[in-house]
Structure 1
Amino acid sequence: MTGKGPRALSKLIVFNKPYGVLSQFTDRGTDTVRATLSDFIAVPGVYPAGRLDRDSEGLLLLTDDGALQARIADPRFKLAKTYLVQVEGDVADDSLAALRRGVMLNDGMTRPCEVERIAPPALWPRDPPVRFRKSVPDGWIKLTIREGRNRQVRRMTAAVGHPTLRLVRWQVGAWTIEDVAPGQWREVAVSR
């Protein structure tokens, strides 16, 4: 007998964060009431592993395991994060090539990323909807990064001349929001 019991399971929640929701359980920011994680998730002891801006949508992982939280959120582990991004303008090959090489931002050069043009994905409607401009075309890209600077994807697309209109984080590592509706979550088992 080794004295070791069975390995405990960590809680890991896959949450599809709607647009306009803060990636925290309380709002200490302003006098206006803003939606937070507590409006959707009533599971004690879990905390976000990383962040997703209020004006971004999609996958937010929450866990009760500090080591797992660090492994997911810390850029040192280079966990792939995939985004579906609606951008202003028709994305040219030279813009894609620049993103693949890495672009210079005000806080330094980004790591190279994976990026491709995609057809408009079958996503839920955003509330409020993205402003439509008849005179300005838009397009979609699928972009995968392995770092996590503040508002990085938005800054990268702007740096190559294509401001982001809608940003949906679709996947982090092996976890995805496929089949998880906005505002919904599911728990997955992970060994500690």
Structure 2
Amino acid sequence: KYDFGCKRPSFTTKFYPVFNRDNAELVTTPISEITENAMVTSDGTVREIDTLICATGFEVFQKGSVPTFKVEGKNGVDLSDFWEENRYQAYEGSTVPGFPNFFLMFGPYSVCTASWFGMVDTQSKHLVRCINTAKKRGGNYIEVKKSSNDRNFEKVQSRTHLTIFKFGDCAKSNSYYFDRHGDSPTIRPTMGFVHWLASRFMSIDKNYNIDTK
């Protein structure tokens, strides 16, 4: 049992009645094979098909899904392993300790739901400020401080209980925007304006290490 919001709701009243039609069948058994003219499920049932529409892609927070390619930081640490062990986190949704000169556009807790384009604008401002500050300091190496990231992650977690995602035991809803910890690392639990302010006025020198390597 879980509450409204744990899964993305349908925006039409005509979706669910479709499954009561004689020419429709809802199959939840995993697909084991696709042949030239049929779909075979793990129970051995063969269903002939004319068209196959691949409308999946909801394994968002499983290890290896984000990112889909290898990102290696300091001491050979893989980003997927870091997030698997420490939960999805990034300072202001942009940078991860141990991964210098690496910036995320759509990082953990970077979306404020108001606007995707607003998120892109905010993240870009953060990135550009970091690079420009490093250049002014004569550095070519910039990395977020672990202490700053830890404070940011703690602040984010302290606010998630105010959102709908912490109600109704969403971790058991099998929803694609929750991870195995019951976190929803996509949505930032603040107003977009707060994120906008942080990207423009947070102290680079206080929160980042800048050096020449």
User: Would you call these one fold, judging by a TM-score over 0.5?
Assistant: no
TM superposition score category, shorter chain reference: under 0.3
Larger-Rg structure = 2
TM-score, L = length of structure 2: 0.25
Bigger relative CO (Cα 8 Å, ≥ 6 apart): 1
More helix by share: 2
TM-score, L = length of structure 1: 0.27
